[in-house]
């Protein structure tokens, strides 16, 4: 009798799992969301170190890969410090998945980046990305009070605005997009042969 009940319960569990898997919409496999406030990669070493601050990680709720479209992830720091390279306040990143859309954003205040003789500062930096079923994915950024080596830089809001300086370049509102995906880096700093730095990054795909 006990063996019969155990067998029946096993069948019930397998049936529930099967229904859950079948119920997952095909679009779930394309649902992507992630945001991070800072990523600094140093180059030139045999194993280049990468430092990441306030990273949500990818969407993927309690059901793991089955239901990433029903998840919320958040990461924050009151102060972010990478010794001798970077400081910033109120680092924040969040990504949210719904049935039919994904929204991600990341931000940092009072940014100071000093590396290889180049200093970049900003009062506020934010990146946003959104993807929704039936509409084109979008991405944008806000950059306030930006200075490069003491010179004020006006962020135009146009995608992929480039500022060249001695030893490297800066991309403002770096955007890669397709109808169903947007990836935005508010600031992308490349110091040739030294470092690759991304400030405020957001990704959304539906």
- Domain-embedded: residue 124: yes
Question: How far, in Å, CA of 50 to CA of 72, rounded?
Answer: 25
**115 lies in some domain:** yes
In a domain, 186, yes or no: yes
**Segment (H or E) for 39:** strand 32-42
Residue 9's pLDDT is: 47
Q: State how many domains the chain has.
A: 1
Q: Is residue 121 part of a domain?
A: yes
| Rg of the chain taking only CA atoms, in angstroms | 21
Do β-strands 146-148 and 32-42 pair in parallel, antiparallel, or remain unpaired? unpaired
First-to-last alpha carbon distance for the chain, in angstroms, is: 49
Strand, helix or coil for residue 71: strand
Q: What pTM, to 2 d.p., does this model score?
A: 0.81
Residue 43: its pLDDT value, please?
A: 86
Whether 109 is in a domain gets the answer yes
pLDDT tens for the 206 residues of the chain, in order: 544 454 454 444 444 444 333 333 444 445 789 999 999 999 876 666 899 999 999 987 544 455 555 789 999 999 999 999 999 999 999 999 988 899 999 999 999 999 999 999 999 999 999 999 889 999 999 999 999 999 999 999 999 999 999 999 999 999 998 888 999 999 999 999 999 999 999 999 98
39 domain-assigned: yes
Instruction: Say if 178 falls within a structural domain.
Output: yes
């Amino acid at each position: 009798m006990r063996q019969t009940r155990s067998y029946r319960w096993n069948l019930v569990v397998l049936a529930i799992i099967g229904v859950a898997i079948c119920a997952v919409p095909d679009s779930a496999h394309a649902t992507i969301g992630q945001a991070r406030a800072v990523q600094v990669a140093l180059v030139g070493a045999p194993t280049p170190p990468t430092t990441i601050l306030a990273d949500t990680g990818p969407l993927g709720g309690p059901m793991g890969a089955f239901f990433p479209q029903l998840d919320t992830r958040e990461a924050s720091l009151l102060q972010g410090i990478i010794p001798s390279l970077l400081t910033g306040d109120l680092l924040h990143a969040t990504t949210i998945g719904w049935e039919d859309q994904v929204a991600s954003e990341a931000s940092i205040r009072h940014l100071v980046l000093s590396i290889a003789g180049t200093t970049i500062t900003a009062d506020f930096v934010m990146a946003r990305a959104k993807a929704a079923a039936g509409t084109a994915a979008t991405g944008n950024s806000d950059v306030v009070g930006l200075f490069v080596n003491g010179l004020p830089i006006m962020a135009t809001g146009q995608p992929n605005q480039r500022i060249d300086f001695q030893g490297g370049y800066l991309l403002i509102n770096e955007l890669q997009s397709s109808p169903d995906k947007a990836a935005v880096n508010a600031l992308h700093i490349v110091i040739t042969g030294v470092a690759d730095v991304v400030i405020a990054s957001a990704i959304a795909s539906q």
